[in-house]
Amino acid sequence: MWHGWLPLLGELTALAAVVALSPFTVLPAVALVVHSDRPRPVGLAFIAGWLVGKATITVAFLQVPQLVHKLDGPAPSWTGWLRIALGLLALVGGVIYWHRSQSSTDSPRWAGRIKRITPLGAAGTGVALTVINIKVVAACAAAGYIIGSSPLNAAGIAGAVTYFTLVGGSTAAVPILGYAVWTHRIDRFLAAFRDWMQRRQRVLSLTVFALLGAGLIYSGANAL
């Protein structure tokens, strides 16, 4: 059992790290509990929308391997080469991003606009931030494809999707759940954490590109 699960969990963990380490994942969550007038309901609504958005994209790509199989027969080699090419493209994208971007400690422009956001608006924001972030979409799509390619039953597929979704959303969920439990006692920690991530956006984003590229290359190589 574990012989088949361990490689799958390794690939899913690498892809989930792409989502979890992205500043675009964590900064909105922290900003909601630091700046919002209603941090607890707004934060919980945001993380719910965020997790639902990621799970939806992942599930949407579960059937892609079956569609490919119907079109081209069993395990076409070009799908492996495609993943390798996309992985190399992600690595190149990381290098380009590093050279073109600059570190910044300024607050994002949207930080001052979320003070009066409603829980419904926060849930919609969580879904929207999932869909518009190309790195998150790529990681979720790759995870869905890998899970769909694995010989799992329905329970196994559900477990794999849940694992990927929770690990990928953990860095956004932890500050929100922490605030829901300890409220203003962790305000100083959250503000410091937000500032730390803003100062290291370039390094974290480069790490995300590297993990995404490595995960896709590894997955593609295994499919050949």
- Specify the pLDDT at position 115: 60
Higher pLDDT, 211 or 154: 154
The pLDDT tens digits of the residues spanning 166-181 come to: 999 888 888 788 777 7
Q: What is the dihedral of CA 79, 207, 13, 27, to 10 degrees?
A: -120
Confidence class for position 163, pLDDT limits 50, 70, 90:
very high
- Specify the pLDDT at position 201: 67
H helix or E strand, kind and range, residue 209: helix 201-223
pTM, two decimal places:
0.70
104 pLDDT exceeds 70? no
Determine what percent of the chain is predicted with pLDDT higher than 90: 11
Domain ranges for the chain, please list them. Answer: 2-223
- Specify the pLDDT at position 76: 57
Q: Residue 188 CB: number of other CB atoms within 10 A?
A: 9
Confidence class for position 105, pLDDT limits 50, 70, 90:
very low
Q: What is the C-alpha to C-alpha distance for residues 11 and 138, in angstroms, rounded to an integer? A: 14
Q: What is the C-alpha to C-alpha distance for residues 171 and 49, in angstroms, rounded to an integer? A: 15
183 pLDDT exceeds 80? no
Q: What is the C-alpha to C-alpha distance for residues 192 and 29, in angstroms, rounded to an integer? A: 14
Whether 91 and 210 have beta carbons less than 8 Å apart is answered as yes
Cα four-point dihedral sign 142, 145, 150, 153: positive
- Lowest pLDDT segment from 52-66, 93-107, 172-186: 93-107
- Specify the pLDDT at position 3: 52
> Mean pLDDT in the chain?
76
The predicted model gives 4-32 an average pLDDT of 78
Determine what percent of the chain is predicted with pLDDT higher than 70: 72
Compute φ and ψ for 100, nearest 5 degrees: -95, -20
Q: What is the C-alpha to C-alpha distance for residues 177 and 92, in angstroms, rounded to an integer? A: 36
131-156 in b/e burial notation, b at 16+ Cβ within 10 A? eebebbbbbbbbbbbbbbbbebeeeb
Q: What is the C-alpha to C-alpha distance for residues 205 and 32, in angstroms, rounded to an integer? A: 21
Q: Residue 24 CB: number of other CB atoms within 10 A?
A: 19
Whether 81 and 164 have beta carbons less than 8 Å apart is answered as no
160 pLDDT exceeds 90? yes
Tokens representing 56 are 């939806």
Confidence class for position 197, pLDDT limits 50, 70, 90:
low
- Lowest pLDDT segment from 32-46, 83-97, 192-206: 192-206
